[in-house]
Amino acid sequence: MILTMGTRPDELRRAAKSVLEQGVDIELIVVSNGAELPDFPENVITRSLPENIGIPAGRNKGAELVTGDIILFLDDDGWYRSPDLAKHVQDRFAADPRLGAVSFRIADPDGGPDQRRHLPRLGSSDPLRSSKVTTFLGGACAIRTAAFEKAGGQAEEFFYAHEESDLAWRILDAGYDILYDAEAVMYHPATLPTRHPDFYRLNARNRVWLARRNLPWPLALGYLGSWVAITLLRERDRESLKTWFTGFKEGWRESPGRRRPMKWSTAWRMTKAGRPPII
């Protein structure tokens, strides 16, 4: 499934071409999140939304049309490096019934180094090493359809930022594993998340919502305390900090949707995978 949110017809066609060239039977669903779609072949399913309803809601709308056992999520500015990626992912899921999601390695098409923020592990990890992880990037992943449905889909309240972590935590709590697969490679141009005008506010608000929705209260308070400290250490721009704390307060004032704290055994599994849910 491809989600498009802007007027990038050339990039969208490139993304669609990389999907249609996959060497397995694949169902391509293109969701227009308030953007105009170019013409596609008849075998491409399209869903045009009249306005931008947010990344998680747009992905949910596309997932409603899925009939296969695995959903591959792709944004319109990314594309698959190899026509064998879908077959590789299919084999991964077939070999492990407990596998709920696969996080892809994101490579720079111009040959630059992998961006650290694209690697869903703590520390300076080797991007060429596969491992179990606790999250994934929403536009660079494959999810077992049954796991997606059991987790309740993506949190539409979030609009943008941390919606994939919310889904990942619920997939883990449903008893599935998440794998970072260094052999599953896709291309995406190097970008900064701060290019989004609401990045700081939504990043902070949704981090609070992530904790409130998913963590037992002792872990939620530790998690949010850690991120306040990390943000104060990382961010030196006063206006950005002001906006971040505005979002942080908003996260406490407004409802995050249904609260469903994860089991303590899930928190322990996350800890063993290298990322305890306090950071």
Average per-residue pLDDT in the chain?
Answer: 94
Cα angle: 130, vertex 136, 137; to 5 degrees: 120
Q: Mean per-residue pLDDT for 48-67?
A: 95
Q: Which one of 146, 167, 191 terminates a domain?
A: 191
| Residues 100, 49 share a domain | yes
28 and 156, same domain (yes or no) = yes
Does the residue 278 lie in any domain?
no
Domain match, 248 and 148 both: no
Domain boundary, last residue among 176, 191, 206: 191
17 has a pLDDT exceeding 90 = yes
- Identify whether residues 264 and 170 lie together within a single domain: no
pLDDT(185) > 90: yes
159 near 54, Cβ under 8 Å? yes
Range of the domain at 110: 2-191
Residues 169 and 201 in one domain: no
Note whether 187 and 162 are within 8 A (CB).
Answer: no
Question: What percentage of the chain exceeds 90 in pLDDT?
Answer: 85
pLDDT above 80 (res 33): yes
Verify that 37 and 98 share a domain, yes or no.
yes
Residue 127 has pLDDT above 80, yes or no: yes
